[in-house]
């Protein structure tokens, strides 16, 4: 889709460092993270809503989601990983993975921005566990 930011990332039109990629999916750091290590998982193919995806895509993306949740727990030492499928802010099926700690008090999910050093650090921590 021409105006979809995730499709532009998938096509390389918008440069982005990936935590993980394969022939069907991309995983990258959210640009407005709720917590350090907040990831987005997308199918490379443009799919607006999860319910529009083929069953095979759903199965594959959730297997990848589990893998990335375990990677986040191991690499960042978080207590758990919260996952959400929202979809309204960007019309391209995607899953948010948010590293969480029991005492983090993230009730309203405030966002923040990475500086280049912090983004590089997060990418290194997460990708070395894959």
Considering the candidates 38, 92, 94, 96, report the single residue annotated as catalytic.
94
107-123 pLDDT, tens digit each: 776 688 999 999 999 99
34-74 pLDDT, tens digit each: 999 999 999 999 999 999 999 999 999 999 999 999 999 99
Task: Inform me whether the pLDDT recorded for 14 exceeds 80.
Answer: yes
For the stretch 78-84, contacts whose Cβ atoms lie closer than 8 Å and that sit 24 or more positions apart, written own/partner, are 78/35, 78/37
Task: Inform me whether the pLDDT recorded for 106 exceeds 90.
Answer: no
pTM confidence score: 0.87
Instruction: Tell me what pLDDT residue 112 has.
Output: 84
**Domain map (residue ranges) of the chain:** 5-102+110-127
**What kind of architecture, by CATH, is found in domain 5-102+110-127?**
2-Layer Sandwich (3.30)
What sections of 1-130 are H helices per DSSP?
A: 5-11, 55-76, 116-127
92 is catalytic: no
């Amino acid at each position: 889709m021409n105006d979809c930011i995730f499709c532009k990332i998938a096509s390389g039109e918008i440069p982005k460092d990936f935590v993980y990629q394969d022939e069907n999916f991309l995983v990258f750091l959210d640009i407005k993270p709720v917590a350090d290590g907040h990831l987005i998982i997308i199918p490379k193919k443009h799919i607006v809503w999860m319910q529009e995806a083929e069953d095979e895509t759903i199965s594959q993306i959730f297997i990848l989601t589990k893998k990335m949740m375990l990677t986040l727990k191991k690499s960042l030492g978080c207590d758990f990983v919260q996952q959400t499928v929202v979809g309204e802010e960007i019309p391209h099926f995607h899953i948010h993975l948010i590293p969480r700690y029991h005492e983090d008090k993230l009730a309203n999910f405030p966002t923040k921005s990475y500086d280049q050093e912090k983004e590089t650090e997060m990418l290194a921590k997460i990708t070395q566990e894959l």
